[in-house]
Amino acid sequence: MALVQVSRETHAKKRFKPTTSFSFARNMSRVRIIASEAPLIAQTFPIAFISENENVFPVAVLGLAKNENLFVSDQGQWLGLYVPAMLRRYPFQMGKAVAPAKESNNLAILIDDEFLSDTEGEPLFGPDEGEPKGPLARAIQLLTEIAIQNAHTVTMVKGLADNDLLDPLPLQVTRGTDPPVNLAGLRALNESKLKALPDDRFLELRRNGALALTYAHLISLGQFGRLKALDAAKSATAPAKAI
């Protein structure tokens, strides 16, 4: 896999080879989400919070073991009811532009070059003035929406963290006769702290949309039962380990 910057000069005649496989996500046990999709996420996956580089982000929990996604089959099929936006964007993503961009802080659309072709798939650019079309136009729309919504999401979660409302989420996973394993790194809302929050701070969270996210998060915690059942079923059918 090599990410390349999409440009009219280089890719005017290139085509995009679509894929229906989610094999790229097979080792993702967590994926970041945006607040606007939280109600849909909550119907299938638990929503938790993680700390990363002094920031806190909401994530959909996709598996209970490191580098294991319970919602991708061995054939690369997606098994969930909903596909998080961060996965739907693949193989496109937004990143910092490189030369010949005029400004070093410009953002650009990047793509995994394995999905580029001279003959297969849909054109990335139209014949008239080389405007983005088809898959590239859709990718630009989705990535722009993700970027905007992600900024709102960061603000919401910062409000929760600044009010000390997020505590470590105690969760253990038991597989067969193995000792229980703590699932570390996840955080959850402390409802008691939220109820004790002064009215002005509570209203501030309501105004910035954080309450809707927290309610979806709290409802979603019941999905850990589904994950444990899926994990147990997968463990039961896994080949026995050599001794």
pLDDT tens readout for residues 37-56: 999 999 999 999 999 888 89
Tell me what the pLDDT averaged over the chain comes to. Answer: 88
d(CA 32, CA 56): 10
pLDDT in tens, 175-197: 766 677 677 889 999 999 999 99
- How distant, in Å, are the alpha carbons of 15, 112, 131, 132, 143 from that of 121? 5, 15, 17, 15, 21
- pLDDT at position 73 over 60: yes
Alpha-carbon distance of 58 to 43, in angstroms, equals 15
At 243 the pLDDT is: 31
Q: How do residues 192-239 score in pLDDT, each as one tens digit?
A: 999 999 999 999 999 999 999 999 999 999 999 999 899 888 877 765
Length of the chain, in residues: 243
Three-state SS sequence of 12-32: CCCEECCCCCCHHHCCCCEEE
For 124-165, how does the pLDDT look when each residue is reduced to its tens digit (9 = 90+)? 998 776 788 889 999 999 999 999 999 999 999 999 999 999
Contact 166, 47 (CB under 8 A): no
Identify whether the C-beta of residue 23 lies closer than 8 Å to the C-beta of residue 76: yes
pLDDT at residue 177, as a whole number? 63
pLDDT at 242 over 70: no
